[in-house]
Structures are given as C-alpha cells and as structure tokens.
Amino acid sequence: MTSAPDRPRVVAVARDDGHRFSKPVRAEIELIAGHGIDGDAHAGATVRRRSRFRGTWTEANVRQVHLLQREVFDELAVEGHEVAPGELGENVTTEGVDLLALPLGTRIRLGDSAEVELTGLRNPCVQIERFQAGLMKRLIRRDGAGGTHRRAGVMAIVVEGGVVRPGDAILVDLPEAPHQPLPVV
C-alpha cells in the first residue's frame, strides 16, 4: 500500500475524444468553465454520456469531470484487481483526500486555477464488469444495514477553468452547513 502524501495532490489526468471506457493518461488537461475538459468526449454544458441520454441532449451535464481517489486502487489491489489511472474512465486521479466522503457542493481547486464543484457519486455501470470480471461487486458495497456504498468516484462540473497536471496541489472548500450527502448521478 502507498502511504498518504503530506498534502492532497493530483496523481494523474486523463481524457479521450471518443466514447471509450478507459481514458489515456496525459501530461495535462485543460478544464473549461461550464463545459468540462477540452477535447474530452464527455465535455459540454448538456449531457454527453450515452448512458445518460434520455431522448434529448438538453439536460444539464452534471458529469463534466470524473474524479477518483488513488486509494481505491490500493483497496482493489488487495481484493485482486489491478487498476491504473484512467482505466476506470476518470479524468483526475487524486491522492490524500477522501472524495467519497465529501458533501454535495464541495469545491475542489486543482492546481493554480482550475476549480470543480461536486455534483454526485458516479454510479458504476456494466462497463466496469466488462473491463474486469468481479470489479463491479468491489465498487458497489452493501453494509450490514442494507445501505449501498459506491466507490467508483465522484462527478463534478467545472466552475473555473485552468490547466491540471500530475503533482498539482488540491484544495478542498466545503459548502456551508448543513451538508448534504452526494446523490448518485
């Protein structure tokens, strides 16, 4: 297992101009306010993901950026699943911040100027199981009380544009209380 960093940081960034499950890792990505990641197939003010299409492309895109914490990779490795940055379709792989525990509306600064606002938890889809058999079960857990816990990352919209690179610092700004849990989007 990898030790936690002294400060939260970006581990990797990824984007793809096609609608493929995994995304190639890049040296940098550019976030555009209200749009998403420049050159990514899922960028846009309105829905771009085929799995979210409901007969019209006018619904607001609350899934412009997918963030996933590297620590999940460590947990999956212990469970027998080797996963690398970008392979689960995330745009930003982070380290040192528990993304899954953050409330709705949390703002995250990535690097010098880019900022995203969390809109919800990623709902794992069948493509995860096609990527690696048994992985879906590891990314959706049920607790003893019947609750469901999704570990496939969080989704966000871009509120401030900027370039994001591996090694960039991450700053977390929580919304005012009372906090609302992240819904599934």
**pTM flag (> 0.75):** yes
- Total of domains in the chain: 1
User: Around 48, how many Cα atoms within 13 Å sit in the side-chain half-sphere?
Assistant: 22
- Inform me whether the pLDDT recorded for 1 exceeds 50: no
**How many CB atoms are located within 10 Å of the residue 146 CB?**
6
Which residue type sits at 43?
Answer: A
65-76 pLDDT per residue, tens: 999 999 999 999
**Within a domain: residue 180?**
no
Contact call for residues 130 and 63 (beta carbons, < 8 A): no
Task: Report CA-CA distances (Å) from 89 to 17, 20, 66, 73, 180.
Answer: 12, 8, 8, 13, 26
**Within a domain: residue 41?**
yes
**Within a domain: residue 89?**
yes
**Within a domain: residue 137?**
yes
pLDDT value for 130: 85
DSSP letter at 106 equals -
**Within a domain: residue 168?**
yes
Band of residue 50 on the pLDDT scale cut at 50, 70, 90:
low
83-138 pLDDT per residue, tens: 999 999 999 999 999 999 999 999 999 999 999 999 999 987 788 888 888 888 88
Domain that holds residue 132: 9-173
The domain spanning residue 135 has which CATH number? 2.40.33.20
